[in-house]
Amino acid sequence: MVSKNVETLINKQIAGEQYAAQYYLAMSAWFEAQDLEGLANYFRVQSKEELMHADKMFDYLNDVGGKVILEAIPAPPGDFADALEIFEKALAHEKEVTQNIFNIVKVATEENDFATTSFLQWFVNEQVEEEATASQHVSKIKMVKDNPSALYLFDQELGKRVLNTAQ
Ligand code: FEO
């Protein structure tokens, strides 16, 4: 059984993951509008991954006898200045998610809630990867953004991403 505190934080994080899905879907839409289909694909897949993260937390909370309470998800931004802004915002957002996950781990640890700390270890590892990838993308988009042929190749590369449902 989880404490009320941990239950509230996990519910907040379910909403956070769902918001991330909306945020990345808005980024995908922006790239679609620019005809950068590969980058649009990348963020569409990322959006679906975030929904899987929310589902994981949803299932966990049910498994440990917590009550899932869904929140309203705020609207994501409707527009972006350019591709660099999107990649920088994606990185900043992942850093924020990492801090939120760390905070739940901290509270669960203080409460000797070993089930939750063990469950969240997957998310801690996932955030390391997500931040590393987002950071590499910021560096790459800086390299290619003013070079159409390089941007084309980057778009092709990210167009190959498929959703890993085995997570
Ligand atoms: Fe679910 Fe990108 O963190």
pLDDT value at residue 1: 85
Whether CATH 1.20.1260.10 fits 4-158: yes
Q: Round to whole Å and give the CA distance between 98 and 127.
A: 6
Residue spans per domain, the chain: 4-158
pLDDT along the chain (167 residues), means of 10: 96 98 98 98 98 98 98 96 98 98 98 98 98 98 97 98 89
Q: Whose CA is closest to atom 1 on ligand 1?
A: 50
pLDDT value at residue 154: 98
Q: Round to whole Å and give the CA distance between 119 and 60.
A: 8
Question: Long-range CB contacts (< 8 A, 24+ apart) of 125-133?
Answer: 126/53, 127/94, 127/97, 127/98, 127/101, 130/94, 130/97, 130/98, 131/91, 131/94, 131/95, 131/98
Within 6 A (CB) of ligand 1 lie 17, 20, 50, 53, 94, 97, 130
Q: What does pTM read for this prediction?
A: 0.96
Q: Whose CA is closest to atom 2 on ligand 1?
A: 94
